[in-house]
Amino acid sequence: MGTGQKLYDRAKGIIPGGTQLLSKRPEMFLPEQWPAYYQSAKGITVTDLDGNSFIDMSIMGVGACILGYGDPDVDAAAKSAIDNGVMCTLNAPEEVELAELLCELHPWASMVRYARSGGEAMSLAIRIARAHTGREKVAFCGYHGWTDWYLAANLGADNSLDGHLMPGLDPAGVPSSLRNTAFPFHFNQIDQLKDIVSRYGKDLAVIVMEPGRETYAEDDFVTEVREIATSTGAVLIFDEITTGFRMTAGGIHLLQKVNPDIAVFAKAMANGYAMSAVIGTSEVMESVQSTFISSTNWTERIGPSASIATIKKYRKENVAAHLIEIGTSVMKGWEDAAHEAGIKLHASGLPSLNHFSFEHPEEVALTTLFIQLMLERGYLAFNQFKPSFAHKKEDISSYMRTVSEVFALLKEAIDKNDIKERLNGPVARRGFYRLTSAKTEGHRL
């Protein structure tokens, strides 16, 4: 057990849930072996607390570090903001510059408000939409964070959110009065949205969805959602927290040529610095002034400065094309390596938000073994890959050679039926679960 795992054991005793973000729990990757904490991160190289260096071919800061860790241009902008004062009685001029830049990228939008995380930005967007319509009910598709408006969907049926990326979410602490205010529909299932509208249309304040994630919308799904929002008077919100800047400069909806009333960004827009934005039409965004939305830390200088530097470099270097090329090569590499090894594997997702799954009864255990074997060979690897500008072709070539070697070992484990016996710890966890103590693996809710 390395220093990182020892520190994580301590953390579970003093930090409820062990980490601040579920997606960074070591149990999600490789229980009792994942390095857990980093000493430094630069480019695609991560150094743990014991001085071991790994190449990150996994989620790159949960998709936030789109240019790579510690990008020099973005860091220089952040350091300049620090040198000139992060907080002041007056406002930072970068707020205006960034707003103008976001509206330039999205000509349909004319106003912008900021926050510093995706979840709070989504709550801000929902509040604006409810204030604008004077209604309360929300129809949504996909995963949209931790806050009350979203988890309210599980007050009536505790598995309503299971098909929306994160199963097992418990609405404990969410007021019961929010029951029947949030209703899920599935991606590419327009009839489900129509059913919600038939029941609650006149009370529907918001339709919120990710305009893409696993794939692009089928047929005219996004167009139909837009038409339904318009006909019912509901505000259409596109959650671009994950998809924004993955396939183009700005939101993925620009490629679909369908405009929302509000779009929400976070993660990649500042290359790892805390920043989020809610952009929208002036008609809808002016509703901010009829409610109260305000926070001291939304006025700090680093986030906007980092965002401006990130977006400018992204456009200058045509980062979107690079992400698509790198991501596509990895997906093909997974499939070719699996075919060569004789393993059944399915790769899917957008090129810059891709993943694979083994077609095997012990899929989770097999994935855990993959992570373990790759870690032993110097890689932070997962069944997901979020490419960055710092990933180069030679990095992908080296990674795929290692993947081919590891897939051959996985095939051997499958043939000998000893997958779990080869693991040096427990099988990885999926979904949301409660850590029962610092010394136990936890159990699924």
* Model confidence pLDDT, tens digit, residues 242-296: 999 999 999 999 999 999 999 999 999 999 999 999 999 999 999 999 999 999 9
Q: What pLDDT shows up at residue 218?
A: 76
CB 184 within 8 A of CB 164: yes
d(CA 440, CA 202): 49
Q: Are 435 and 18 in contact (CB under 8 A)?
A: yes
Q: How far apart are CA 153 and CA 35, in angstroms?
A: 35
Please tell me whether the overall predicted TM-score, pTM, comes out greater than 0.75 for this model. Answer: yes
Please indicate whether residue 436 or residue 89 has the higher confidence score (pLDDT): 89
Type of residue at 363: E
Q: Burial letters for 333-364: b for 16+ Cβ neighbours within 10 Å, e otherwise?
A: bbeebbeebebebebebbbbbbbbebebebeb
Give pLDDT tens digits for 38-67: 999 999 999 999 999 999 999 999 999 999
Percentage, residues of the chain above pLDDT 70: 94
Residue 444 has pLDDT above 60, yes or no: no
Least confident interval from 93-102, 115-124, 149-158, 317-326:
149-158
pLDDT at res. 29:
98
Rounded Cα distance between 302 and 74, Å, is 10
pLDDT exceeds 50 at position 437 = no
153 residue type, one letter: A
Rounded to an integer, what distance in angstroms lies between the CA atom of residue 323 and that of residue 67?
10
Q: What is the pLDDT of residue 434?
A: 65
What is d(CA 197, CA 267) in angstroms, rounded to the nearest whole number? 31
- The pLDDT score that the predictor gives to residue 216 is 77
Give the pLDDT confidence score for residue 137 in this predicted structure: 97
Fold of the 72-316 domain:
Aspartate Aminotransferase; domain 2 (3.40.640)
Q: Which of 85-99, 173-187, 366-380 has the lowest mean pLDDT?
A: 173-187
- The per-residue pLDDT for range 181-238, each reduced to its tens digit, is 999 999 999 999 999 999 999 999 999 999 987 777 777 999 999 999 999 999 999 9
Residues paired with residue 183 on neighbouring β-strands, in sequence order? 139
Joined together, the tokens standing for residue 176 give: 């019961």
* pLDDT for residue 112: 98
Q: Where are the domains of the chain?
A: 3-57+319-444, 72-316
Place of tokens 């939409």: 129
Q: Is the predicted pLDDT of residue 438 greater than 50, yes or no?
A: no
The three-state DSSP-derived secondary structure of the chain is CCHHHHHHHHHHHHCCCCCCCHHHCHHHCCCCCCCCCEEEEEECEEEECCCCEEEEECCCCCCCCCCCECCHHHHHHHHHHHHCCCCCCCCCCHHHHHHHHHHHHCCCCCEEEEECCHHHHHHHHHHHHHHHHCCCEEEEECCCCCCHHHHHHHCCCCCCCCCCCCCCCCCCCCCHHHCCCEEECCCCCHHHHHHHHHHHHHHEEEEEECCCCCCCCCCCHHHHHHHHHHHHCCEEEEECCCCCCCCCCCCCHHHHCCCCCEEEECHHHHCCCCCEEEEECHHHHHHHHHCCCCCHHHHCCHHHHHHHHHHHHHHHCCHHHHHHHHHHHHHHHHHHHHHHHCCCEEEEEECCEEEEEECCCCHHHHHHHHHHHHHHCCEEECCEECCCCCCCHHHHHHHHHHHHHHHHHHHHHHHHCCCHHHCCCCCCCCCCEECCCCCCCCEEC
Q: What is the pLDDT of residue 99?
A: 98
Q: Which of 238, 317, 239, 237 is nearest to 271 (CA)?
A: 317
Structure tokens at 155: 């007050």
The one-letter amino acid code at 381 reads A
| Mean pLDDT of the region 366-392 | 98
The closest alpha carbon to 74, from 277, 324, 269, 252, belongs to 269
Confidence of residue 418 (pLDDT cuts 50, 70, 90): very high
How distant is the alpha carbon of residue 279 from its chain centre?
A: 19
Decide: 167 and 431 in contact? Cβ < 8 Å: yes
Alpha carbons 83 and 86: distance in angstroms, whole number: 8
Alpha-carbon distance 277 to 267, whole Å? 10
- What does the alpha-carbon distance between residue 347 and residue 357 come to, in Å, rounded to a whole number? 7
Confidence of residue 162 (pLDDT cuts 50, 70, 90): low
Q: How confident is the model at residue 170, as a pLDDT?
A: 77
Mean pLDDT of the chain: 93
Angstrom distance (rounded) from CA 202 to CA 197: 8
Structure tokens at 58: 């996994």
435 has a pLDDT exceeding 80: no
pLDDT at 432: 73
**Topology of 3-57+319-444 in CATH?**
Aspartate Aminotransferase, domain 1 (3.90.1150)
Residue 154 burial (C-beta neighbours within 10 Å; 0-12, 13-18, 19+): buried
The pLDDT tens digits of the residues spanning 134-153 come to 999 999 999 999 999 999 99
Q: Is residue 443 pLDDT above 80, yes or no? A: no
